[in-house]
Amino acid sequence: SSRGASSITQESCKEVEATKDYESKYETLESIGKGAFGFVKLARQKQTGDHVVVKFIRRSKVLKDCWAEDATLGLVPLEVSLLAKLKHPNIVTMIDYFKGGSEDELDQLVMEKHGSGMDLFEFIDRSPNLDEALASYIFRQVVSAVSYLHSLDILHRDIKDENIIMNEQFQVKLIDFGSAAFMKPGKFSEYALISIHRYSGPELEMWSLGVTLYTLVFGENPFYDIEETINCVMSLPFDVSQDLTEVLEWLLCPLPEHRATIGDMEGDPWVQQPFNLNDYTWKDVLPNFEFHGNTAADNREDTPDVKKRLCSSSSSFGGHDDGCRDDN
Ligand code: ADP
Ligand code: MG
Ligand code: MG
């Protein structure tokens, strides 16, 4: 598989043990991603029939820097505490949360089901007919979410196509706050973090945005091996506009101090170029795709043009050594 392998663990094969409260309210349906992400599943709210997405979190797997004492929820994974408070059109909405009690009981983080659950990885893997305007529309929504986070001194720290979900109107939302951290102490102090030893800057996040944009536009990673990554040898597989080339070079600038900031992206003419949603239909962009019940990684294994993903957008440049493990 060309996806990040973080979630493929022995444990994801084990039977999931959910809390009683969760079980009484939701009916768990199929896994999203055919077992590769065994701990994210579709579910149905029993009373309303609404479909939701549930992330099962094993508390023993959450690293010590990734806990928060939440005023209403108590001691919870930071991921949960953050999602409970964040409110933005391009960030997934948390609907419910159930805290696992005993050792082998898992937490359930219930989220809205946005679209049919397709993430940007699958979208890109299906070779969409994208022009620059549509790419800019998708990208500017991620920029908007990240700008909101940075305004709260929050770093997502795992921005990549897998952690962005999309609906049929090309609206995207950021998910997976399992690696998030604060830039510095101060704002949001009500979070009363248990222990955050280091605070990192936003530059790495901008780099990740650059990798994500490059991948969206070209359908492949900007850097193919560690050496290329270290030397930042970026070559474009085909010509794009001068404005887009400059945005990519600005985001993937080797010197962090010269790299674009989120404010730069919010004011960038390419990122904010005119866009008319009425010019695009899902069918035209993905002609060979039909939605069906289960989603995300369904056809991952037999997709012909599996992308090479040696450097994930966030791990390139050796950034998040102090982050949380991704295998919940
Ligand atoms: P992990 O921390 O293991 O990477 P994620 O929270 O990223 O877990 O979820 C794994 C995958 O499940 C995502 O890449 C995405 O495909 C899918 N997914 C997660 N949350 C949602 C959601 N709310 N809606 C649709 N798909 C989701
Ligand atoms: Mg993820
Ligand atoms: Mg994660």
Alpha helices in the chain (DSSP H): 20-25, 78-85, 120-125, 132-151, 203-218, 226-231, 242-251, 262-266, 282-285
Question: In testing the pocket of ligand 1, which one of 112, 123, 171, 175 has its CB within 8 Å of the most ligand atoms?
Answer: 175
**322 vs 250, residue with greater confidence:** 250
Q: Is the pLDDT of residue 291 over 70?
A: no
Annotated active-site residue in 125, 158, 268, 326: 158
Give me the pLDDT at residue 2, please: 63
Centroid of chain to Cα 52: 17
What pTM did the predictor assign?
0.83
Whether the CB of 92 sits within 6 Å of ligand 1:
yes
Mean per-residue pLDDT of the chain: 81
Atom of ligand 1 nearest to the CA of 327: 3
pLDDT, residue 235, reads 84
* ipTM score: 0.99
In this predicted structure, the answer to whether residue 256 has a pLDDT above a threshold of 70 is yes
Residue 190 CA neighbour count, 13 Å, CB half: 9
Measured between alpha carbons, how far is residue 40 from residues 34, 37, 93, 263 in Å? 10, 6, 15, 33
Report DSSP letters for 196-236, one per residue.
------THHHHHHHHHHHHHHHHSS-S--SHHHHHHT----
Residue nearest to atom 5 of ligand 1 (CA): 176
pLDDT at residue 199 is higher than 70? no
pLDDT of residue 227: 74
200 pLDDT tier (thresholds 50, 70, 90) = low
Region of poorest pLDDT, from 108-117, 208-217, 226-235: 226-235
Task: Look up 298 and say whether it is catalytic.
Answer: no
Q: Average the pLDDT over 288-310 and give the result.
A: 45
Residue nearest to atom 26 of ligand 1 (CA): 117
pLDDT at 59 over 90: no
Read off the pLDDT of residues 64-111 as tens digits, 9 standing for 90 and up.
888 899 888 899 999 999 999 999 999 999 999 999 877 678 899 999
**What is the pLDDT confidence band of residue 210, given thresholds at 50, 70 and 90?**
very high
Give residue 91 CA to ligand 1 midpoint distance, Å: 12
